[in-house]
Amino acid sequence: MTIENRLRELGLTLPTASDPQGSYCNCVRTGNLLYVSGKGPVAGLSEVPKGKIGQTYSVEQGYQFARATGLDILAAVKLELGSLDKVTRVVKLQGFINATSDFEQHPKVLDGCSDLMAEVFGEKGVHARSVFGAYSVRGNLPLIIDSIFEIQA
């Protein structure tokens, strides 16, 4: 089954990949690795969320923001490669959660993106990851996620 068919089976539609918000590009290829710049929950949403998890937004809302960010990541990968079938493995996700100083559920928020990758790619979507609490992130977004993919050479 192609990844496009898998997305349809899951009822998922990729948004148009968001544009970089500074002097950088969405993706960089080196060898068989694709590095995707930090993405937030902005693509395909009618209103860009702003605020902190644990104050403005709940863990559950954060999970959904991470899931939406994962769709933007996949849109950027597809734009770069032409097809998500060229992904051989999701290697790593790194999340920065814009959270209150007493917030402790960062992993549960990032699970939104992690779960999406596993749903879309199966075993190839299970990855290493890091998650950090951030005092602030660009645009006061609730989170930013960067990622690394192994791709066909």
Assign 43 a pLDDT band (cuts: 50, 70, 90).
confident
- The confidence score (pLDDT) of residue 7 equals 97
> Which pairing describes strands 87-98 and 143-151: parallel, antiparallel, or unpaired?
antiparallel
Q: Is the pLDDT of residue 1 over 90?
A: no
The residue segments making up the domain with residue 61 are: 3-151
Condensed to tens digits (0 to 9), the pLDDT of residues 88-117 reads 999 999 999 999 999 999 999 999 999 999
Report the distance separating Cα 58 and Cα 108, nearest Å: 11
CATH of the domain at 44: 3.30.1330.40
Task: Give the three-class secondary structure for 137.
Answer: coil
Cβ(7)–Cβ(13) below 8 Å: yes
H or E element that contains 34: strand 33-39
pLDDT tier at 45 (50, 70, 90 boundaries)?
confident
| Strand-by-strand arrangement of the 87-98 sheet | 27-30, 33-39, 143-151, 87-98, 128-134
How much is the pLDDT for 153? Answer: 80
- C-alpha 97/C-alpha 107 separation (Å) is 9
Say what percent of the chain tops pLDDT 70: 100
Domain count, the chain: 1
Beta-strand pair 27-30/87-98: unpaired
**139-151: per-residue pLDDT in tens?**
999 999 999 999 9
Distance CA 26, CA 77 (A): 9
- Judged against a pLDDT cut of 90, whether residue 21 lies above it is answered with no
**What number of CA atoms fall less than 13 Å from residue 32's CA on the CB side?**
10
